[in-house]
């Protein structure tokens, strides 16, 4: 099988696109879809083992991918990464700022180190990647950047460090779109809501029980999947979105649009997911259950 994208197969032919956090989850899925559409992908992450695995998958599927291990919080490492890629591959046409991470904790229990670790990964690292891609390539050649944020408009109780960082990245998206537009650079973001991803299996057992209850809090009565996020990213990177810049697209099944205490949701089963990713990995915690509301 191959990736079942809704876009034509040569959409990103000869385009150089960097995907951070590409070793798993949404990053892995997006790298696969972009490669299936002709892009030459640079997979970026901290785990060489994961990056090698994704590169092998893409090559087996007929795509092109290189990889580079990099801690995006390290300014000099990011500068060197981008410089090397430009010297080897030429102009960078797209950047998917996907790398991130967090852990569940109430604000009162988050240490300064824990706070800084999440903010540096989800905000500062994304800024460094975008700045260097702009300075070293896109200012001269144009391009498109898509940042990955989160559904944080009503706050993120239990993950306040991540909410603060993602809100900062949403604002950075708006500012960069304004400042860099003269160079033909578009900067947008997508805000995934509750997406069924293998990353869910990394959370503590007590938090997994919370995750199982989430479909009932989504108006579409289900969780999303990685390919439903990837397709939006691909659209924003494409020429079809050539006059869209500075916006955030929410991919959350309308979960951010109301309050279940004020307007309880009706149970439904009418929304069917789009399964484009042929190598999708279902989270273990849902294999005995359902991604839909009971």
Quick check: is 294 in a domain? no
Region of poorest pLDDT, from 4-8, 103-107, 210-214, 278-282: 210-214
The β-bridge relationship of strands 248-251 and 195-196 is unpaired
Alpha carbons 137 and 110: distance in angstroms, whole number: 38
Mean pLDDT across the stretch 46-57? 97
pLDDT at residue 286, as a whole number: 79
pLDDT at residue 291, as a whole number: 63
* Higher local confidence (pLDDT), 284 or 253: 253
Quick check: is 4 in a domain? no
Region of poorest pLDDT, from 134-138, 173-177, 224-228, 260-264: 260-264
Quick check: is 144 in a domain? yes
Q: 103-125: per-residue pLDDT in tens?
A: 889 999 999 999 999 999 999 99
Quick check: is 9 in a domain? no
- What is the Cα 130 distance to its own chain's centre? 14
pLDDT at residue 293, as a whole number: 62
What's the pTM value of the predicted model, to 2 decimals? 0.94
Q: Where are the alpha helices (DSSP H) in the chain?
A: 25-36, 48-60, 75-89, 112-119, 125-133, 139-141, 160-180, 205-212, 226-237
Question: Which CATH number do you get for residue 241?
Answer: 3.40.50.720
Measure the N-to-C terminal CA separation of the chain; round to a whole number of Å.
31
Q: 223-271: per-residue pLDDT in tens?
A: 999 999 999 999 999 999 999 999 999 999 999 998 888 899 999 989 9
Tokens of 49: 């083992």
Structural domain of 54: 16-286
Quick check: is 10 in a domain? no
Mean pLDDT across the stretch 3-17? 97
Tokens of 268: 């439904």
The mean pLDDT of the chain is 94
What backbone phi and psi angles, to 5 degrees, belong to 201? -75, -10
Quick check: is 40 in a domain? yes
The rounded percent of the chain whose pLDDT value lies above 90 is: 84
pLDDT at residue 142, as a whole number: 98
Quick check: is 102 in a domain? yes
The rounded percent of the chain whose pLDDT value lies above 70 is: 98
Quick check: is 63 in a domain? yes
pLDDT at residue 294, as a whole number: 56
Question: What's the total number of domains in the chain?
Answer: 1
pLDDT at residue 198, as a whole number: 74
82 — pLDDT class (breaks 50, 70, 90): very high
CB 139 within 8 A of CB 185: yes
């Amino acid at each position: 099988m191959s990736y079942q994208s809704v876009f034509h197969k040569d959409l990103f032919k000869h385009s150089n696109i960097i995907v951070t956090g590409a070793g798993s989850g949404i990053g892995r899925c997006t790298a696969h879809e972009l490669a299936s559409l002709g892009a030459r992908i640079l997979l970026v992450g901290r785990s060489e083992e994961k990056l090698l695995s994704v590169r092998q998958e893409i090559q087996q599927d007929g795509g092109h991918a290189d990889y580079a291990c990099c801690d995006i919080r390290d300014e000099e490492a990011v500068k060197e990464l981008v410089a090397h890629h430009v010297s080897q591959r030429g102009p960078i046409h797209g950047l998917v700022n996907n790398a991130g991470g967090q852990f569940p904790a109430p604000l009162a229990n988050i240490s300064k180190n824990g706070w800084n670790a999440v903010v540096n990964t989800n905000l500062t690292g994304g800024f460094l990647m975008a700045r260097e891609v702009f300075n070293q390539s896109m200012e001269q050649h144009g391009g498109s950047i898509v940042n990955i944020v989160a559904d944080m408009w009503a706050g993120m109780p239990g993950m306040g460090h991540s909410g603060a960082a993602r809100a900062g990245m949403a604002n950075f998206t708006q500012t960069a779109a304004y400042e860099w537009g003269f160079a033909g650079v578009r900067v947008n973001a997508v805000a995934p809501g509750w997406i069924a991803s293998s990353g869910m299996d990394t959370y503590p057992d007590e938090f997994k029980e919370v995750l199982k209850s989430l479909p009932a809090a989504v108006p579409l009565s289900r969780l999303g999947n990685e390919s439903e996020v990837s397709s939006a990213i691909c659209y924003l990177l494409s020429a079809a979105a050539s006059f869209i810049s500075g916006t955030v697209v929410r991919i959350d099944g309308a979960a951010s649009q109301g309050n279940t205490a004020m307007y309880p949701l009706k149970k439904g089963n009418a929304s069917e997911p789009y399964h484009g990713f042929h190598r999708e990995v279902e989270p273990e915690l849902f294999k005995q259950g359902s991604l839909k509301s009971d």
